[in-house]
């Protein structure tokens, strides 16, 4: 039987079970404990920049808490990159706020700084208020144009919340993605750079902010012997078992980043002569992508097939691929949201495909995928 090649499978270091066993042996089977503290310390060491990190039950929970911490309330607007997974935008609506979608530029496929500024100015003109926060995303691991985005955000005094769910290990000008804005978010979902089976983290600027995030993540319980609540809280802490997986995964994070980059290089080499198929490349070496997923764009005129033709062919060949994210401004659920668009993300969605890129993929797997493209008839 033909081996199925998956888009992005998890890969274990082998150390995970030791941390889990320790949790069981010491009866720390709760959403706090030595693995949670240890995992946070490992992440802080890895990210640097004097950041303070809170381990949570999901990246989505981290985005939600960050918006709470930024004071987003019902009736506010929050600017969000349109070209992303719905998890970047959904938490805005949990708070009764409205997402304002901003399209991408062609270099990194992330938030277009020019459109961002246009959106800020226009929202102020239309509503009398500036948006409460800006959520750029480092999609597929490619760093967004953070210098430009931060300069605009600072000019209008709007805090930035970076969605680095797909970008652990990616750097922009030598600095980790997720550390430029006031807050940053990581995801440890099963298909990400490392996994805790499900989980995420909030990167915060200070120890006080970390304490505050932990407070909200544990039902906003006040410091009293009884259960005293003066604010609404959430149950978002990471379990000590999941954090054990995370600690084990930290041993292979660098290896995973290196492997995904190698896979991207291999695809680039193998597909260099295929007419009408272009692989997403970083605009310059200032953008140090982890290449979470290698993405291609198909030009149907030149290639003689569409993205969808290719996806179906891959499916026949037992290869999992996925269209690029459908932009949020085209999603029925966000039909009423304000949007500032330029056609870039729509074109990427129409013609783009993610190729298998996980650390479990062998060179032979990548060659098999490339051959389907090269030999497409």
Ligand X SMILES: Cc1ncc(COP(=O)(O)O)c(C=O)c1O
Least distance from C-beta 87 to ligand X, angstroms?
3
Can you give the binding site for ligand X, defined by CB under 6 A? 58-60, 84-85, 87-88, 137, 163, 165-166, 187, 189, 200
Q: Of the two residues 131 and 136, which places its CB atom closer to ligand X in the complex?
A: 136
Strand order, beta sheet including 171-172: 175-176, 171-172, 287-288
Least distance from C-beta 195 to ligand X, angstroms?
9
Least distance from C-beta 308 to ligand X, angstroms?
22
Least distance from C-beta 359 to ligand X, angstroms?
17
Q: Of the two residues 95 and 165, which places its CB atom closer to ligand X in the complex?
A: 165
Least distance from C-beta 367 to ligand X, angstroms?
27
Helix axes 16-25, 240-249, angle to 10 degrees: 150
Q: Of the two residues 131 and 200, which places its CB atom closer to ligand X in the complex?
A: 200
**How far is it, in rounded angstroms, from Cα 292 to Cα 333?**
27
The residue with its CB nearest to ligand X is 59
Task: Return the residue matching tokens 């291609």.
Answer: 296
**How far is it, in rounded angstroms, from Cα 181 to Cα 29?**
34
Least distance from C-beta 326 to ligand X, angstroms?
13
Report the alpha-carbon angle 81-261-14, nearest 5: 105
Task: Return the residue matching tokens 């026949």.
Answer: 316
Between the CA atoms of 112, 114, 115 and 119, what dihedral angle is there, to the nearest 10 degrees? 130
Task: For 113-168, give the secondary structure using H, E and C.
Answer: HHHHHHHHHHHHHHHCCCCCEEECECHHHCCCCHHHHHHHHHHHCCCEEEECCCCC
Contact of 228 with 222, CB cutoff 8 Å = yes
Task: For 220-280, give the secondary structure using H, E and C.
Answer: CECCCCCCCECCCCCECECCHHHHHHHHHHCCCHHHHHHHHHHHHHHHHHHCCCCCCEEEC
Contact of 263 with 357, CB cutoff 8 Å = yes
Q: Of the two residues 16 and 163, which places its CB atom closer to ligand X in the complex?
A: 163
Q: Of the two residues 282 and 313, which places its CB atom closer to ligand X in the complex?
A: 282
Q: Of the two residues 313 and 322, which places its CB atom closer to ligand X in the complex?
A: 322
Q: Which of 247, 204, 174, 276 is nearest to 13 (CA)?
A: 247
Least distance from C-beta 301 to ligand X, angstroms?
31
Q: Of the two residues 326 and 368, which places its CB atom closer to ligand X in the complex?
A: 326
Name the burial class of residue 260, with classes exposed (0-12), middle (13-18) and buried (19+) by CB atoms within 10 angstroms of its CB.
buried
Least distance from C-beta 328 to ligand X, angstroms?
11
Least distance from C-beta 164 to ligand X, angstroms?
8
Q: Of the two residues 293 and 314, which places its CB atom closer to ligand X in the complex?
A: 293
Q: Of the two residues 33 and 200, which places its CB atom closer to ligand X in the complex?
A: 200
**How far is it, in rounded angstroms, from Cα 205 to Cα 188?**
20
């Amino acid at each position: 039987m033909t081996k199925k090649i998956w888009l992005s499978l998890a890969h274990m270091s082998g150390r995970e079970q030791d941390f889990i066993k320790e949790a069981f042996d010491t009866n720390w089977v709760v959403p706090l404990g030595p693995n949670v503290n240890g995992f946070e310390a490992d992440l802080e060491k890895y990210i640097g920049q004097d950041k303070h990190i809170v381990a949570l039950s999901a990246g989505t929970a981290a985005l939600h808490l960050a918006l709470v911490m930024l004071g987003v309330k019902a009736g506010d607007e929050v600017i969000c990159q349109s070209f992303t997974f719905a998890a970047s935008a959904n938490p805005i609506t949990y708070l009764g706020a409205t997402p304002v979608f901003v399209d991408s530029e062609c270099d990194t496929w992330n938030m277009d700084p020019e459109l961002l500024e246009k959106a800020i100015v226009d929202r102020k003109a239309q509503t009398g208020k500036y948006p409460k926060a800006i959520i750029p995303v480092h999609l597929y691991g490619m760093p967004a144009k953070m210098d430009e985005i931060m300069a605009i955000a600072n000019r209008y005094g709007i805090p930035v919340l970076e969605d680095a769910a797909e970008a652990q290990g990616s750097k922009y000008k030598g600095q980790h993605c997720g550390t430029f804005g006031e807050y940053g978010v990581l995801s440890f979902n099963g298909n990400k750079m490392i996994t805790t089976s499900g989980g995420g983290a909030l990167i915060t600027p200070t120890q006080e902010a970390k304490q505050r995030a932990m407070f909200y993540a544990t039902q906003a319980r006040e410091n009293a012997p009884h259960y005293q609540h003066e604010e609404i809280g959430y149950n978002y802490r990471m379990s000590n078992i999941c954090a054990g997986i995370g600690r084990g995964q930290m041993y292979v994070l660098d290896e995973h980043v290196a492997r995904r980059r190698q896979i991207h290089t291999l695809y680039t080499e193998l597909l260099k002569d295929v007419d009408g198929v272009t692989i997403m490349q970083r605009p310059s070496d200032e953008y140090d992508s982890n290449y979470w997923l290698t993405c291609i764009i198909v030009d149907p005129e030149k290639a003689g097939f569409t993205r969808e033709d290719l996806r179906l062919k891959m499916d026949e060949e037992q290869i999992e691929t996925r269209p690029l994210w459908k932009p949020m401004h085209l999603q029925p659920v966000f039909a009423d949201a304000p949007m500032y668009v330029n056609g870039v993300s729509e074109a990427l969605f129409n013609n783009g495909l993610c190729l298998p890129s996980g650390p479990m993929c062998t060179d032979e797997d990548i060659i098999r995928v490339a051959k389907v493209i090269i030999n497409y008839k």
